[in-house]
């Protein structure tokens, strides 16, 4: 499919209008909710924190965020919240010990009604501070944390199960918590992560934005584009995709690997070498920095997630569907919860380049009519089940449950 064809916007043909955002009801006392996380740099935890900050402010509650800082701090203020900088990212016992009293002072001074921890190191201090101040404590379990040799890290990880209630970001994570930490199921709440449909909206992306990226990345007219968004790290499966493209053997196909290596340049060089050895050196584009991901999705014929380790959620899979793109994801982790095989995309065995190549061929050979059908189904699926407003509403429901239950027992 050439560039002109990709400007076609399947959303304009859908019969599924974007749902109205659910109104969040204010409470009479406007409770202060404190979210604590290591840093505000980038990633799903950080984006979720900002989204919940905005939802709390819109609901008339008072959002407060504690972290060690970072480039996303200004977004807390823009979302209607307040940020307090503390070294809660630290993992050394001395700093974590002092963080208990630092957090206690914040809880007391800001009259915090609920503490919500989103990561292990800050949670270890926050749970003690919350209990000593008589304030309810809860967590969000964001991943399958490494247990370490002989399970030595299991007690460290287990702090994420110590809240009155625990949010699991997928059914996969819920099963992991039940099997690994034996938490009573009654204390678990599944709240899928969401994407902002006003940002990830095909109709909102102008042809000019797509042209700018195509020129910057030197994509030839008529190229078919396969994209894998995600930071450059081995388990994200960029090498699996390169090997699949070598098996696909279609010279018109270009690949975009969009994500930062975060200073791990050795892996970037390894991918460049792998692409060159496969004869794909001029068709695999490693994009360290993309300032317009929605436009990148619109340039793309197929969105791929190739993670070799199970993803706790997999936001890329939902973003691709929200943009009306067929997606291919590995058949493990949370991906089976996100994709409707044959309707919005496909699942493949993890780490299998040959199976991935077969699915790429299927996706690239879709007829125009079939591509439009899948686009409509994908957009409806993403907007119905993974809207960020739905995530926010469900999270605030959990907050209400925790507040009603009272302080976390010692």
In a shared domain, residues 189 and 91: yes
Mean pLDDT of 39-67: 94
User: Chain-wide mean pLDDT for the chain?
Assistant: 92
H helical segments located in 134-279: 154-157, 171-181, 207-216, 238-248, 265-277
Strand 32-36 with 112-117, pairing: parallel
> Which residues have CB under 8 Å from 150's CB, separation 6+?
none
In a shared domain, residues 104 and 51: yes
In a shared domain, residues 169 and 41: yes
* Per-residue pLDDT at 152: 86
In a shared domain, residues 165 and 47: yes
Question: Is 12 contained in some domain?
Answer: no
Look up residue 277 and give its two tokens.
């050895």
In a shared domain, residues 251 and 373: yes
Per-residue model confidence as pLDDT tens digits over 162-190: 999 999 999 999 999 999 999 999 999 99
Hunting for tokens 């609920």 — which residue is that?
A: 114
Question: Is 25 contained in some domain?
Answer: no
In a shared domain, residues 77 and 163: yes
In a shared domain, residues 182 and 219: no
Question: Is 79 contained in some domain?
Answer: yes
In a shared domain, residues 114 and 237: no
In a shared domain, residues 70 and 204: no
Question: Is 10 contained in some domain?
Answer: no
Per-residue model confidence as pLDDT tens digits over 129-173: 999 999 999 999 999 988 888 888 999 999 999 999 999 999 999
Question: Is 9 contained in some domain?
Answer: no
Question: Is 8 contained in some domain?
Answer: no
Three-state DSSP class for residue 15: coil
Q: Which of 28-37, 266-275, 326-335, 362-371 has the lowest mean pLDDT?
A: 28-37
* Per-residue pLDDT at 295: 97
pTM of the model: 0.89
In a shared domain, residues 367 and 393: no
Which residue in 329, 339, 331 sits closest to 381, CA to CA?
339
Q: Are 260 and 238 in contact (CB under 8 A)?
A: no
Whether residue 238 is predicted with pLDDT greater than 80 in this model: the reply is yes
CATH number at residue 98: 3.40.50.2000
Please report, in angstroms and rounded to a whole number, the separation of the first and last CA atoms in the chain: 61
* Per-residue pLDDT at 25: 41
Structural domain count of the chain: 2
Residue 74 C-beta-side C-alpha neighbours within 13 Å? 1
In a shared domain, residues 91 and 184: yes
Three-state DSSP class for residue 59: coil
Distance CA(342)–CA(339), nearest Å, equals: 9
* Per-residue pLDDT at 3: 52
DSSP H or E segment with residue 397: helix 388-405
Residue 120 φ then ψ, to 5°: -70, -50
The domain of 258 spans 199-385
Q: Are 54 and 24 in contact (CB under 8 A)?
A: no
Question: Is 92 contained in some domain?
Answer: yes
Distance CA(281)–CA(273), nearest Å, equals: 8
Look up residue 249 and give its two tokens.
């053997």
What one-character-per-residue DSSP string does 240-295 give? HHHHHHHHH--TTEEEEEES--TT-HHHHHHHHHHHHHTT-TTTEEEES--S-HHH
* Per-residue pLDDT at 375: 97
Mean pLDDT of 31-54: 93
User: What CA dihedral angle connects 347, 351, 354 and 357, to 10 degrees?
Assistant: 50
Tell me 69's DSSP state: -
Question: Is 14 contained in some domain?
Answer: no
Whether residue 16 is predicted with pLDDT greater than 50 in this model: the reply is no
Which residue in 172, 144, 179 sits closest to 160, CA to CA?
144
Which residue in 55, 81, 87, 52 sits closest to 69, CA to CA?
87
In a shared domain, residues 206 and 185: no
Mean pLDDT of 58-72: 96
Q: Which of 22-26, 347-351, 357-361, 405-409 has the lowest mean pLDDT?
A: 22-26
Look up residue 225 and give its two tokens.
């584009």
């Amino acid at each position: 499919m050439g560039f002109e064809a990709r400007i076609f916007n399947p959303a304009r043909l859908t019969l599924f209008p974007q749902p109205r955002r659910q109104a969040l009801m204010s409470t009479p006392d406007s409770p202060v909710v404190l979210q604590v996380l290591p840093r505000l740099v980038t990633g799903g935890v950080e984006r979720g924190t900002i989204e919940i900050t905005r939802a709390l402010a819109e609901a008339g509650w008072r959002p407060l965020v504690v972290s060690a800082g970072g480039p996303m701090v200004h977004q807390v203020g823009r979302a209607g919240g307040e940020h307090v900088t503390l070294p809660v990212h630290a993992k050394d016992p001395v700093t974590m010990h002092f963080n208990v009293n630092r957090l206690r002072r914040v809880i007391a001074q800001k009259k915090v009604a609920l503490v919500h921890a989103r990561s292990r190191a800050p949670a270890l201090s926050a749970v003690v501070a919350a209990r000593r101040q008589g304030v309810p404590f809860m967590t969000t379990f964001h991943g399958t944390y490494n247990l370490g040799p002989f399970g030595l890290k299991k007690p460290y990880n287990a702090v994420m199960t110590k809240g009155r209630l625990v949010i699991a970001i997928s059914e996969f994570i819920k099963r992991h918590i039940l099997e690994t930490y034996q938490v009573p199921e009654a204390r678990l709440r599944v709240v899928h992560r969401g994407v902002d449909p006003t940002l990830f909206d095909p109709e909102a992306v102008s042809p000019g934005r797509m042209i700018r990226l195509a020129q910057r990345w030197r994509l030839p007219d008529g190229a078919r584009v396969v994209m894998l968004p995600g930071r450059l790290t081995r388990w994200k499966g960029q090498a699996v995709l390169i090997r699949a493209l070598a098996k696909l053997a279609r010279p018109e196909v270009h690949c975009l690997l969009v994500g930062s290596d975060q200073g791990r340049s050795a892996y970037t060089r390894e991918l460049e070498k792998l692409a060159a050895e496969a004869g794909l050196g001029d068709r695999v584009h490693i994009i360290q920095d993309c300032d317009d991901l929605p436009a990148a999705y619109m340039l793309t014929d197929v969105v791929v997630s190739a993670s070799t380790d199970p993803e706790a959620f997999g936001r890329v899979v939902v973003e691709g569907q929200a943009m009306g793109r067929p997606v291919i994801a590995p058949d493990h982790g949370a991906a089976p919860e996100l994709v409707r095989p044959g309707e919005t995309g496909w699942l493949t065995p993890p780490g299998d380049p040959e199976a991935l190549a077969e699915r790429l061929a299927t996706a690239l050979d879709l007829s125009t009519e079939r591509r439009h059908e899948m686009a409509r189904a994908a957009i409806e699926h993403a907007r119905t089940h993974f809207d960020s407003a739905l995530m926010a509403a469900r999270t605030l429901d959990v907050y209400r449950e925790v507040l009603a239950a009272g302080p976390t027992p010692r």
